[in-house]
Structure 1
Amino acid sequence: MISNQETLNLSPFMAIYDIVVPKDNQLRQINDLVDFTFVYEELKNKYCLDNGRNAVSPIRMFKYLLLKAIFELSDIDVVERSKYDMSFKYFLDMAPEDSVIDPSSLTKFRRLRLQDVGLLDLLIQKTVEIALDKKIITSKTIIVDATHTKSRYNPKAPIEFLMEKSKNVRKSVYKIDESMKEKFPAKTTSNEVKDELAYCEKIILTIEKEAHLVNIPAVREKLNILKEVVEDYTEQLDYSADPDARVGHKTEDSSFFGYKTHIAMNDERIITAAIVTTGEQSDGKYLQELIEKSQATGMEIETVLGDTAYSEKNNIHYAKEKKLQLVSKLNPQITQGGRAKEDEFEFNKDAGMYVCKAGLMAIRKARQGKKNVGKNQRDIYYFDIKKCQACPFREGCYKDGAKSKTYSVTIKSTEHKDQEAFQNSDEFKEKAKSRYKIEAKNSELKHRHGYDVATSAGLFGMQLQGAMAIFAVNLKRIRTLMKESE
């Protein structure tokens, strides 16, 4: 139960924080900036209020997850650091002498308390409310883009993935103590997952016996990752890939296995909306939802900036209907309109190819017809016939015995005259210069907050990771803007 959660801390050592956690410490400033009681109000119905043992405050558990996102730490490492880092203890509303939680509590908190909460929208809403209250949002422009996150579980055979993680641990150990080569067990040669798991468990036990190694952060972090992976595989030996992750395409020749986060950000570089999807989803279809989610936070919007993925016919019509300026360059492959099976074939702007509903990308394209001869030109996209023959969606799409599978698109050069005229204007070109801001934000999420790789399996885990990472970067940005306005 969570009764009596808001009692005052009467520890005689609380004054230590005034000495060791300065006023410019980012965690102290976040604590001063955000009233975290909204977490308690949102989650209290997930607990029993009058029966059972007192639970750890949901606010403290939430703050642990936020610390993980800010400092890119594992469950074990964030709890370990909260034992001795006074800024962590202060942020967590702990007395200096308080004991910490068990790391396994964080897993239970995520699974039992945060399901069905809509945490991503909730946290973005909270940060935009803070920014509007502080009067640091003045623009009426949002910039949209999508960033990809690789699955934690690559589409490799289980044994290959285990071998990779154990290798990372051994390399980190050898940098400190090469003599450990003699203590490690012999590598397995059976090519069996169970044998590789047993080998990894022996590696873990061997390192844990070496106090001079296990306490070194570089080794401990790799070791903790290996332990989590071994635990996952022990529970489900045939688990070789994230069940919700999908293959998406970055370019015609490169792909990734994982997820996409579709993001809207205002000119002040505060994220105003986000939608987490599987990796194969196209960017353009989420524009309208990003706009509406941004408006729901209280943002006024007049202009929307995006790359060519967002200049689909439906988006242009939506922008005109809502009286919004859509600063997105036309792409003839996207904006033609009137194509057959429009709902089944999505254009991937990075690869310049169409993807069918089974997630298969065209392998080449050719243009048919000549310009200005009375007939519209067509782009013909060719798919791998062998994959089409085995596709579960082949009925109604692939004709048995056919020697090729193509998808054709008519290019209508006069379909979007108004948008074409706008994109050639000086106003369009000037506004389009701000698009770089969202690319920098995507880079910050990936390189400073670990958003390049998913920390857990499944779409819910990715949504939770996105919620905490975006909440963290928005709070940091608000602090920066407040300093600049002083």
Structure 2
Amino acid sequence: MTLGRVPRQGDLLRSTVEFCAGRVGVDSIYGVLHRDCFGLFPDEMFADLFTDVGRRSVPPMIVAVVMVLQRIEGLSDREAVERFAFDARWKYAAGGLDFDYPGFVHTVLVDMRARLARSDRPDRIFDAVLEVARAAGLVGRKRVLDSTPLYDAVATMDTITLIRSAIRGLLAVVSAGLAGELRARVSSGDDYASTAKPVIDWDDETAREQLIDSRTRDGLAMLAVLDGLDLDEAVDKAARLLATVVGQDITTGEDGIFRIVRGTAADRVISTVDPETRHGRKTQARGFDGYKGHIAIDPDSEIITATEVTPANSGDAEVAPGLLADILPAEAEAEAEARVFGDAAYGAGELLKLLDDNGIHNGVKVQPASSVKGHFSKDRFEIDLDRAVVRCPAGHTAPIRPRKGQPSTIGAAAFGAACGGCPLRQQCTSAAAGRTIGIGAHEKHLLPARARRRDPAWRAEYRATRPKVERKIGHLMRRRHGGRRARVRGKVKTAADFSLLAAAVNLARLAVLGIGSTTAQLTPTTA
């Protein structure tokens, strides 16, 4: 398929320009797209996605505009192409096309997303909008980080449904001959043709145990057949999924019966339809299934500078370096100091070290030291890393000694006998051996971070800056945009969709700020 191009010369009598010019606000996303779509998303920007031979594609600039508007209005593919066909504002936003400009089928949007995903620059639409903000001076060296739940687009499966679905998926991708060999190993009598659960008396514990045991044996028997075979990618992926769902939930009793294990595996697969989705927690009392959407924003302009999507059980600090890539490493000759803010979820030692090593102002909140059983918390002890000693509230000191078998820590300070006749013992410890203070590998960075929390100036800046990212997440998760429910399956597709939403919200923000782009330079818009 070759690159299609947008017509630049419209029909004066049929153009949407005269009709929409006085009706569409200049500070709306339709207005900014109309003025700047040729500069933001020129057809040439997508040239690498197409070949030199074949029929002409729908002009990529038009498709990009439709994708942005589709995302900000939370529409399906069919709804989006219908809106483009009949809503004059959409054709106006796509450069002022004629009223009767032909529409296109919804699979064009599917095809464009697939082409972008396979390319070297899958997030080029987001990058193009962000570059406009950078050129306008709206992206400085401050960053605020946060994450938000993205509920998955699939149903969470129980153990028996997971196993049967994984077996069914394996049978679907193997060759006919191998499928016959696998089915010959089935001892339960289940044909694995239906998605419905087998009909049993679910109130009968013995019947439930027999169901779990028999389907587990079927799965293990199939995996035994595949063991040692040279499998293609699809079969290998299906076999690994079956092994995972069997291994994560099932244990063997002393009687040799397979039963569901108590508790939940740390990285439990919860759906064979989307194996990358996970159980997650927003708080101790509130859980969710799906992914986490991570963003970094410039708090002064409220422009989103980076996005990322991870499984719901991942930690926020894990992706922080990627979100801060545009200010790392810190530039010594930069006019403004880089500053990073985040809540306690980002207060991990690795991130604190990264910021400190790069000379970046650390506005990341750190959890206070915990107080076990009401005893003195760790921050009541004076830790001197230079002298490798710890001083307790009663004035006793203990040396920091390495701990065997724990290379990830510096060591520990054990007060031992000093606690025996200490008048503060009841407030400090109930351990017979006395109080021990563990010193982590990143203690050097955690100590000043905890001290900063007590600085009124630091707290004032934190409270004035960090809440801005909460407002931006509120903009992203509006029901108009589709809410928190993921519209696609899989981490890669969800990440691309989240990036596109961020691009649309950024573009709407640029429209409000009166910033536009032309093919030559940035120019502020006027009413």
Common fold by TM > 0.5: yes
Give the AA of the match of 1:141: K
Aligned counterparts of 1:342 and 1:450: Cα–Cα separation in 2: 47
1:243 is matched with 275
2:107 is matched with 104
2:353 is matched with 317
Aligned counterpart for 2:133 among listed residues 131, 134, 137: 131
2:490 is matched with 458
Quick check: 2:152–2:489 contact (8 Å CA) kept in 1?
A: yes
Find the residue that maps to 2:51 and give its secondary structure.
coil
Quick check: 2:5–2:43 contact (8 Å CA) kept in 1?
A: no
Alignment of 1:474-485 (within 5 A): 474-482=506-514
Quick check: 2:3–2:56 contact (8 Å CA) kept in 1?
A: yes
Quick check: 1:306–1:328 contact (8 Å CA) kept in 2?
A: yes
Two-structure CA RMSD over aligned residues (Å): 3.9
Q: 1:61 to 1:412 in 2, by over 3 A?
A: closer
1:11 is matched with 11
Quick check: 2:277–2:291 contact (8 Å CA) kept in 1?
A: yes
1:142 is matched with 143
2:210 is matched with none
Aligned counterparts of 1:73 and 1:145: Cα–Cα separation in 2: 26
Q: 1:87 to 1:7 in 2, by over 3 A?
A: closer
What's the CA shift string for 1:175-222, capped at 9, x where partnerless? xxxxxxxxxxxxxxxxx6589xxxxxxxxxxxxxxxxxxxxxxxxxxx
Alignment of 1:331-346 (within 5 A): 331=367
1:53 is matched with 55
Quick check: 1:376–1:411 contact (8 Å CA) kept in 2?
A: no
Q: 1:98 to 1:307 in 2, by over 3 A?
A: same
Query: Does structure 1 residue 432 correspond to structure 2 residue 435?
Result: no
Quick check: 1:295–1:301 contact (8 Å CA) kept in 2?
A: no
The Cα shift of 1:59 comes to: 1.6
The Cα shift of 1:114 comes to: 3.6
Percent identity at matched positions?
20
Aligned counterparts of 2:36 and 2:8: Cα–Cα separation in 1: 20
The Cα shift of 1:90 comes to: 1.7
The Cα shift of 1:86 comes to: 0.5
Aligned counterparts of 1:63 and 1:376: Cα–Cα separation in 2: 61
Aligned counterparts of 2:457 and 2:287: Cα–Cα separation in 1: 35
The answer for unaligned runs of 5 or more in structure 2 is 162-193, 198-270, 371-377, 380-384, 386-401, 409-427, 516-523
Q: 1:376 to 1:416 in 2, by over 3 A?
A: farther
The answer for unaligned runs of 5 or more in structure 1 is 161-191, 196-238, 344-367, 379-408
Quick check: 1:89–1:96 contact (8 Å CA) kept in 2?
A: yes
Aligned counterparts of 1:297 and 1:466: Cα–Cα separation in 2: 27
What's the CA shift string for 1:25-70, capped at 9, x where partnerless? 5212233245456553342122112x22111112212222111111
What's the CA shift string for 1:285-333, capped at 9, x where partnerless? 2222221135699996521110112121222222111111111222257
- How many residues are aligned here? 356
Give the AA of the match of 1:446: M
The Cα shift of 1:479 comes to: 1.9
The Cα shift of 1:253 comes to: 3.0
Bigger Cα displacement from structure 2, 315-324 vs 6-15: 6-15
Find the residue that maps to 1:416 and give its secondary structure.
helix
Quick check: 1:303–1:327 contact (8 Å CA) kept in 2?
A: yes
Aligned counterpart for 1:269 among listed residues 302, 321, 333: 302
Alignment of 1:10-159 (within 5 A): 10-22=10-22, 24-25=25-26, 26=28, 27-36=30-39, 38=41, 40-49=43-52, 51-93=53-95, 94-120=97-123, 122-137=124-139, 139-156=140-157
1:445 is matched with 476
The Cα shift of 1:108 comes to: 2.0
Quick check: 2:2–2:54 contact (8 Å CA) kept in 1?
A: no
The Cα shift of 1:412 comes to: 10
Aligned counterparts of 1:254 and 1:322: Cα–Cα separation in 2: 36
What's the CA shift string for 1:140-164, capped at 9, x where partnerless? 3210111120111131479x9xxxx
Find the residue that maps to 2:466 and give its secondary structure.
helix
What's the CA shift string for 1:108-129, capped at 9, x where partnerless? 2222344234333x34433332
The Cα shift of 1:445 comes to: 0.7
Aligned counterparts of 1:446 and 1:485: Cα–Cα separation in 2: 28
Find the residue that maps to 1:24 and give its secondary structure.
coil
Find the residue that maps to 1:250 and give its secondary structure.
strand
The Cα shift of 1:4 comes to: 5.8
Give the AA of the match of 1:105: V
The Cα shift of 1:417 comes to: 3.1
Q: 1:241 to 1:301 in 2, by over 3 A?
A: farther
Quick check: 2:349–2:442 contact (8 Å CA) kept in 1?
A: no
Q: 1:413 to 1:141 in 2, by over 3 A?
A: closer
Aligned counterparts of 1:114 and 1:410: Cα–Cα separation in 2: 41
Quick check: 1:151–1:457 contact (8 Å CA) kept in 2?
A: yes
Aligned counterparts of 2:512 and 2:84: Cα–Cα separation in 1: 25
Structure with greater Cα Rg: 2
Aligned counterparts of 1:297 and 1:478: Cα–Cα separation in 2: 27
Find the residue that maps to 2:435 and give its secondary structure.
coil
The Cα shift of 1:446 comes to: 0.9
The Cα shift of 1:427 comes to: 1.9
Q: 1:75 to 1:422 in 2, by over 3 A?
A: same
1:170 is matched with none
Q: 1:105 to 1:342 in 2, by over 3 A?
A: farther
Q: 1:21 to 1:84 in 2, by over 3 A?
A: farther
